[in-house]
Copies of this chain bind each other. A is one copy, B any other.
Amino acid sequence: MKMICTLFLFSLLFSSTYALDFCVGDVKGPESPAGYLCKPSAKVTVDDFVFTGLGIAGNTSNIIKAAVTPAFSAQFPGLNGLGISIGRLDIAVGGVIPFHTHPSASEVLLVLQGKICAGFVSSANTVYLQTLTKGDVMIFPQGLLHFQLNGGGTPAIAYVSFSDPSPGLQILDFALFANDLSSALVEATTFLDDAQVKKLKSVLGGTG
């Protein structure tokens, strides 16, 4: 009996805050450069480590006929501080995830269904292009421009993992055409024609 008690105390000893095993994000509070501050351990439950919803298709009834469903630290606070995140891509027939970058993460894409044509461009302007089918995995190194499009006749599904809980997502067209950056500046810094810039600004709701 005494042994059990002693052990129990020993167990209590080691139950104290010796470790920062995880840091579930308190997403309502302030962020640090390393991510959200941690929710108190006592309030953490298994629900903080489980995310549901990536089994459901995203809504592809939009201009790109595609959807990104993120499970990043903002949506899934259990990932905070852990160096990884995940998401789902749905790309309808004729759909595309247009050229974009993730400023702070490399990406690994796994095709679940359908055919996806994917590519990225290196700093040396070399193109790495492949058509992927079910079970294929492709890497998109950190910060490089890349795209995915449906390369077949059926809806495509893929899962994407990132080397950061908050990888960022900068879609080229939105960055150039969906804000108040003036057409003149866009033209001067991209060499695109005025008509082209104004057309896409109009479509994407940009001003200036």
Contact = CB atoms under 8 A, between A and B. Distances in A.
A174 B10 CA distance: 10
Contact of A108 (B21, B161, B167): B161
A183 interface: no
Given A19-B167, A23-B32, A63-B7, A55 B134 contact: yes
Contacts of A199: 193
Nearest to A46: B128
A162 B55 contact: no
A119 B72 contact: no
Interface residues of A, number: 137
B82 A141 contact: yes
Interface string A30-58: 11111111101100011001111111100
B129 A190 contact: no
A93 interface: no
Interface in A67-108: 68, 70-72, 74, 76, 78-86, 96, 98-99, 101-108
A162 B84 contact: yes
Given A18-B166, A190-B173, A181 B121 contact: yes
B18 A123 contact: yes
Contact of A130 (B20, B46, B80, B162): B46
17 contacts: A4-B202, A18-B169, A22-B141, A26-B30, A32-B37, A41-B124, A46-B128, A53-B135, A54-B110, A54-B136, A82-B106, A82-B141, A82-B163, A101-B103, A103-B143, A123-B169, A193-B199
Interface of A: 3-4, 6-11, 14-23, 26, 29-38, 40-41, 45-46, 49-56, 61-64, 68, 70-72, 74, 76, 78-86, 96, 98-99, 101-108, 110-112, 117, 119-130, 132-145, 147, 149, 159, 161-164, 166-176, 178-181, 185, 188-193, 196, 199-200, 202-205
